[in-house]
Each structure stands twice: as C-alpha cells, then as structure tokens.
Chain A
Amino acid sequence: MKLLSSYIKEMKIAARGFYFYIEIGMAVIILAVLLFAVNEFPTSSAKEFIYYDMSKEIKSLMLQEELDDGTLELAEPTQIKMKAALFSVKNKETNETKTYTYDEEIYHLDTYKVFDQKTGKLQKTIIETGSEDDLIRLAWQEKTIGAAVGMNEAGEASTRYYLQGYETARFQNLLYILQNESPATLQAAMDGMTITKLENAELLNTRQSLVPLLVVLMGALMGFFIAIAYIFLDKDEGVIRAYAVTPSTVWKYLLSKLLVIITTVIVSSSIFTIPVMGAQPHYLLFYTLLIVSSFAFSSLGILIATFFDSMSKTFGALYVFLIAMMLPAFSYYVPSFDPLWLRFFPTYPLLQGMKEIMMKSTDVNYVLLFSGVYLAGGIFLFLFANLRFKKTLAV
C-alpha cells in the first residue's frame, strides 16, 4: 500500500516535470521519422564502375540478352564532378606502380540499371566509363571498386579490378574466380543444388528492423541513465535521508522510482512500436521483456549511483557503459559478425529477444529464458543497491 502511494506520488511529481513529456515527445519524433523518413523497402543504392575494354559490337552482344529480357535498362547519363587528384596504383602481382595526375573535370557517363529477374527490383546501377584511365580515377575518387572487363591475348574474358587496398584476402580470392565461368554455367550448377531452409521465417523490413534497436536504446539504456539522475536529484535534496525517519522503507522508495521509469519506458516504447509493427509482435512477450529489462538496467543504475557523490562523477562509468552496451548493435545489423565475447553483453540477448518478438515466428523459449535472466539479475541488483543505500545512509 505504501509502495502504491509512493508510486502514485512519484508519478504525479514526474507529470509535473519536463522529463516525462520529453520522453513522450522523443517517442513521437521517432515515430514520425520511422513512418515518414525510413523506407520499408529502400531501393538499392549499390553502384558499380565498369569499363568495357572491347569493341562496341562485342559489348552490345554481351549486354543484348539482358537488355532484351528487361533485367538491364539504359538510364539517364550520370554526371560526376571529378576533383583534381594525384595518386598511385600498384599491380598486386608485379608490384609495378603507376602514378596518375588529374585536373578538375566533369564526367557524363553512360548508366545502366540492373533489375532482379524474379522480383523486378533495382539491384544495382552500373556506371560505364569511356576509358580505363577514367575508370581508375572514378574508383579512386568514389572509394569503390572499378572493373575493366575485356579479352586477353588468347581471346578469353579477363578482368582488371581496381581495389582500394583494405579489402580482405578472402574477398580478393573471390574476385579472382568470380568471372572464370560464364553466368549461365554457374547458374546451371546452382540449379542442381539442394537448398534446405529449416524454417519459413519472414524477415523484418528496414523500418521494422529499427524498432528493437530503438526500444533497447530508449527503454533499457535510458532507464539506466535516468535512474542515476533520479537518485542524484534526491540525494541533493536529502529525500533519501528523510526516508530513514519515515515509516516507509528505502526499498519502497527505490522501487517507486523504478516503477516511474518503467511506466515511462512502456508509454514511450508503445508510442512508436504499435503504429510501426501493428499486430505482428507477440505483445505479451514484448511487455514482459520490456518491463524486466528496464527493471534490471534501472536497478544497475541505482546501484552505480551508490558508489558516487555526484552526477558528473558518475559520468565516466555511465558513458563507458552506454557505449559498450551499444556494441551488440553491430552484430544485430551484421549477423555474420557475431564473436563470442559480444554475446556476453547484456544488451545482446535483449536486442535478439526484441527482434524475435517482432518477427512472425517468435522463439518463445529464448525470450522467456532471457526474461527470467533479466528478472533474476534485476532482483539481485536491486537488493544489492538497497543494501548499499542502507549502509551508506548517515541518519
């Protein structure tokens, strides 16, 4: 009962301050950005720079089939402002180096759009240069790979790739063999393979895939930040000491603070999650994970606050923690980058759990397992923080 009245009192105080409304305002801004600025299925912006080192007739013959079936389309020429440049290019086999110097210039280059045969979606844009020197200059300026496609003395297809220099050995190996065989022969070999998919999962679109990240950032991590700020505010005003001479206990006071943060997190996360995701997520699991994770991170926040005298002194720990906790976002966006050490970060299972919840086929066991872990961790941190407050209170 005392906890409930503390919570209601804290909510009333929060409603009088800016914090609550700034949180809601930010959630509305995020919703607007997601709905109006983030395309669900963005068109590909991939560009390839190519020089066809062959006669017009051979080039036409090579491209005609794709032009006929509609997967290749001649587009408006691309205008590129070329800056003055001075650079060197090294042949990786012979180590022979050649230096190039250029003045400012404007290029008008033939451009092709490449479309996916099955979906008809734009896959990439091919920009064709008129000479190999132009290709080299363009690859240098645009910081991308350039390919000069031609024939060698034996009449076989040969390609010269102009790389930046930081490409990995595996990628370079792939370039060596990629053009060895005709696309038709490779496609025939690929058609003969069995491709087994263990489940029929539907991926999140670009807009939806941002939601788990924002929920973690806006919810758990900012809950941690705000919990620290709340504690220092009350420390400054002597509220925590005052609790020592009231019938209520410090843990009820701390929990009421956490409940205010959790309420704010629920409201702000719902503002952008529900309109963007609609009925797709498993909302029971969503709110369960949101509540327990916010509880755990906020408990950690109040625990950390017990070790410092002021907000500015906490800043170092806070800053390091927030940055470190964002690292799993790399693995979230680049799933092939998933080192073992990254999986020990508390935000890793939270991000993956939120992603599971947002997808149509949710791994319920995974989400429940980590909800349990966050709850247990949160209770432990909360009890520890309570103990610290009891010990450090000078009545």
Chain B
Amino acid sequence: MKNILKIFMRDLKTARRDSMALIIIIMPIVLAIGITLFTPGLADTTVNLALLKNDDPAHIQYMENFAKVELFDTRQDAIARVQKRDDVAAVIRKDKSYEIILQGNEPNMVENYAASLSALYETGQTIEASNVTLYSFGQSTSPIKTMLVNMLISMTIMLAGMLIAISIVGEKADNTINAVNVTPVSQTEFVLGKTLLGGFIALVSIIIALLITGYDDINWLMILLVGVSSMALSLIIGFLMGLMSDDVIEAATNVKMIMLPVAGSILGYELLAANWQWTMYWSPFYWAYKANQLVLSKTADWPSVLLSTGMVLLLTLLVYFAAKPKIRKGLS
C-alpha cells in the first residue's frame, strides 16, 4: 500500500508539472458549463417559421406562442431564409388562406407542424378556449441534458484511460518500467499506483461537473459506485493500450479503437429497441452508461445499479485476466 501511494504521489507531482491532472479536472468542468448553457437551446426545438412583417399582427402573435418566428420585409426575403441550411418554413398569406413554403429537404415533421399550426389558427383555436389541463411531475432536467452529462462522464473516464496509455508510452520511452523491475515495488503495485492518479482525478472532476450541471440531488453513493467500477475498466484498458503501444502513434490509434465500443454502447443503449438491448450485454461500457442513466434520471433502484455495476466489474475482470499475460510481458 505504501509503495502504491508513493507511485501515486510521484505521478501526482509529475502530472502537475505536465498539466495532465489539470486537463482531466478542467476539461469536464468546461464541458459541464457548456452543457448547462447549450441544452436549453437544443431542447427548445419546435419549428422555425418565417413570416412577413406586413402580416396580420394577430397571426404573428399567435404563431409566436408555438414556434420561433423570424420576420421579413418581402416574400423573396422569406424565401431566401427558407433556402438556408437549417429547417425553416415560410407561412405567407395567399388569398383567404396561407401558403407554406419549404425548401423541400426538411423532415415531414416540419411540414406537418407548420400546416397544423396554420390550420389551428384558421379554425380559430385559442389557448383560452382550451379544454386541456396540464399536470407536471416537476422534473427540471431534460433527457437531452441527462444524455449529454452521461456522455461527459463516459468521456472523462475514457480520458483517464487515454492519459494512462500515453503516460505508459512515456515511461517506456524513458525506460522507467525496466528500472521498476529492479526496485522493491512489485508489478501489481506499479500497475495500481499508475492507475490511481487517473481514477482519483477523474472522479473528482466528474463530481464537480455533476454539481455544475445541477445534478446535486442524485444518489451520490450509486453514482460513485458506478464511477469507480467503470473507471477500473477504463484504467486497465488504458494501461494495456500503453503497454501494447511502442510509440505515441500506436497509442493514439489504440485509443481510437477503444472509442468504438464506447460510442457503440452509447448508441446501442439510446437507439436499440428494448427487445434488442441484449445484443449490447457484452459491453461493460453499456452497463456503465445504463447505470449512470438510471441514477441521473433518478429512476435507479439498488438491484438495478448493483446488477449493472456487477456486470461492469465482471467484464473488467475478464478483460484483466485475458490481458494479464500481455501486461506481465509488457512490464518485464
């Protein structure tokens, strides 16, 4: 334990000089601030309409209740706006009705939304005359924000792994690994010591990022449990990649290879239908992402979190034992 801590402290000092620790701490925080500023705009994406300034003020006011409205002087100006790269529908008075002008490459939803709003206006539907009652569960965070924060956690954990990989390549270049073999430090202590730093700093930055993004009322014990287990996997992979790589080019491409299962697991969880989710069970990143999602959306219960964490640890152990001969070879 003493040796592990010594390696950890030495790495902490070295990392501070190399600004590595600062990167892992600062980057998630900067991204967390970005997510906080970015998501309100991303979540508020109903439909964008281009109207004419000389349109009926009541029509303009009506549409502003339901869509983002931009006003233009002439029909040509509105058409020019429609022809830009984003999805905007122009709604322009034509005889007794309205003409909806589209570029033609928008999803059907844009056309349906613009047409429905116009139809609702023409048939005189108002909020005041509505027979609708709205109830709310009082959730303030949108699923998009939760997804982005979960991705941020995954990226931070992967970043720790990447830094371990590059650090190991550096150690190899400096012949430090060979030097360790003639010291009282065992190979296991060296592995643990090297990985402690990335894990510790990444966890701290994840906690700060969660506080910034407003997830202060989640179950912290659950998120730490998932964080530590997925960190173990990332660090082992980072260590393995570092040992397997002869130079930074190989480390960079190996890191890129790790990104495939990470991105695949996130996409699998988000896009696959419930009856196809089993196809992702092989991936520990899938279980980690799933557990984080449950905790962040405050729908997690202990059996689900323990199952996911258990799967991450089991798959991590499988990776470790499969890679053990290579780790030993790399360290010798």
A binds B: yes
> Could you list which residues of chain A lie within 8 angstroms of chain B, going by C-beta atoms?
17-19, 22-23, 26, 29, 33, 45, 83-84, 87-93, 136, 139-141, 143, 152, 156-166, 168, 170-181, 185-187, 189-190, 192-201, 203, 222, 225-226, 229-230, 232-233, 236, 310-313, 315-316, 319-320, 323, 327, 330-331, 334-339, 352, 359
Tell me whether B31 is interfacial, beta carbon within 8 Å: yes
Tell me whether B87 is interfacial, beta carbon within 8 Å: yes
Per the bound structure, the CA–CA distance linking A229 and B246 in Å amounts to 12
How far is the CB of A226 from the nearest CB of chain B, in Å? 6
The answer, among A143, A165, A230, for a CB contact under 8 Å with B249, is A230
B141 in contact with A175 (CB, 8 Å): no
Per the bound structure, the CA–CA distance linking A303 and B297 in Å amounts to 42
How far is the CB of A293 from the nearest CB of chain B, in Å? 17
Per the bound structure, the CA–CA distance linking A81 and B247 in Å amounts to 51
A87 in contact with B137 (CB, 8 Å): yes
Residues of B within 8 A of A310 (CB): 18, 170
Per the bound structure, the CA–CA distance linking A165 and B139 in Å amounts to 5
How far is the CB of A261 from the nearest CB of chain B, in Å? 11
Tell me whether B66 is interfacial, beta carbon within 8 Å: yes
Per the bound structure, the CA–CA distance linking A312 and B42 in Å amounts to 33
* Among listed B2-10, B103-111, B188-196, B205-213, interface-contacting one: B103-111
Tell me whether B167 is interfacial, beta carbon within 8 Å: yes
The answer, among A90, A159, A161, A190, for a CB contact under 8 Å with B138, is A90
A203 in contact with B105 (CB, 8 Å): yes
Residues of A within 8 A of B42 (CB): 330, 334, 337
How far is the CB of A34 from the nearest CB of chain B, in Å? 12
A186 in contact with B85 (CB, 8 Å): no
The answer, among B87, B126, B247, for a CB contact under 8 Å with A336, is B87
Residues of A within 8 A of B179 (CB): none
Most chain A CB within a 10 A radius of its CB, from B22, B127, B137, B173: B137
A339 in contact with B134 (CB, 8 Å): no
B134 in contact with A170 (CB, 8 Å): no
B18 in contact with A162 (CB, 8 Å): no
Per the bound structure, the CA–CA distance linking A229 and B134 in Å amounts to 56
A143 in contact with B297 (CB, 8 Å): yes
Knowing that A174-B117, A196-B101, A320-B30 are A-B contacts, what are 15 other residue pairs whose CB atoms are under 8 Å apart, sorted by A's residue number?
Answer: A45-B273, A93-B133, A93-B134, A160-B133, A170-B65, A180-B126, A180-B130, A194-B98, A195-B115, A226-B252, A236-B247, A312-B166, A330-B42, A336-B45, A336-B86
Chain B residue, CB-CB nearest to A136 = B135
Residues of B within 8 A of A316 (CB): 19, 22-23, 26-27
21 contacts between A and B (CB under 8 A): A17-B249, A18-B253, A84-B301, A87-B137, A139-B137, A143-B143, A160-B134, A161-B132, A162-B135, A163-B134, A165-B137, A166-B140, A170-B65, A174-B46, A192-B122, A198-B79, A200-B104, A313-B18, A320-B27, A334-B45, A337-B86
Chain B residue, CB-CB nearest to A92 = B134
A91 in contact with B133 (CB, 8 Å): yes
Residues of A within 8 A of B256 (CB): 22, 26, 222, 225
Nearest first, the 10 closest Cβ-Cβ pairs linking A and B are A338-B86, A189-B119, A201-B105, A158-B131, A197-B104, A165-B139, A316-B23, A335-B87, A229-B252, A180-B125
B103 in contact with A201 (CB, 8 Å): yes
Q: How many residues on B have C-beta within 8 angstroms of the other chain's C-beta atoms? A: 93
Per the bound structure, the CA–CA distance linking A18 and B247 in Å amounts to 10
Per the bound structure, the CA–CA distance linking A226 and B115 in Å amounts to 49
How far is the CB of B144 from the nearest CB of chain A, in Å? 9
In the complex, per-residue mask of B265-283: 1 if CB is within 8 Å of any chain A CB, else 0: 0000000010000000000
Residues of B within 8 A of A335 (CB): 85-87, 106-107
Which residues 107-166 of B have a CB within 8 angstroms of A?
Answer: 107, 110-111, 115-120, 122-123, 125-127, 129-143, 155, 159, 162-163, 166
A179 in contact with B115 (CB, 8 Å): no
In the complex, per-residue mask of B216-258: 1 if CB is within 8 Å of any chain A CB, else 0: 0000000000000000000000000000000111111110110
Tell me whether B187 is interfacial, beta carbon within 8 Å: no
How far is the CB of B158 from the nearest CB of chain A, in Å? 10
Residues of A within 8 A of B19 (CB): 313, 316
A170 in contact with B137 (CB, 8 Å): no
Residues of A within 8 A of B85 (CB): 335, 338, 352
How far is the CB of A233 from the nearest CB of chain B, in Å? 5
Per the bound structure, the CA–CA distance linking A186 and B112 in Å amounts to 11
Residues of A within 8 A of B251 (CB): 229, 311
A18 in contact with B250 (CB, 8 Å): yes
Most chain B CB within a 10 A radius of its CB, from A162, A165, A187, A190: A190
The answer, among B83, B123, B273, for a CB contact under 8 Å with A186, is B123
Chain B residue, CB-CB nearest to A89 = B135
Per the bound structure, the CA–CA distance linking A125 and B30 in Å amounts to 40
Residues of A within 8 A of B102 (CB): 195-198
The answer, among B47, B120, B247, B257, for a CB contact under 8 Å with A233, is B247
How far is the CB of A341 from the nearest CB of chain B, in Å? 10
Residues of B within 8 A of A195 (CB): 99-100, 102, 111, 115
A175 in contact with B132 (CB, 8 Å): yes
How far is the CB of A175 from the nearest CB of chain B, in Å? 6
Tell me whether B48 is interfacial, beta carbon within 8 Å: yes
Residues of A within 8 A of B134 (CB): 91-93, 160-161, 163, 172, 175-176
B20 in contact with A315 (CB, 8 Å): yes
Residues of B within 8 A of A185 (CB): 123
A186 in contact with B47 (CB, 8 Å): no
A193 in contact with B27 (CB, 8 Å): no
Chain B residue, CB-CB nearest to A343 = B85
Given contacts A201-B105, A233-B248, contact A176 B301 (CB under 8 A): no
How far is the CB of B260 from the nearest CB of chain A, in Å? 6
Most chain A CB within a 10 A radius of its CB, from B79, B115, B133: B133
A198 in contact with B82 (CB, 8 Å): yes
Per the bound structure, the CA–CA distance linking A198 and B102 in Å amounts to 6
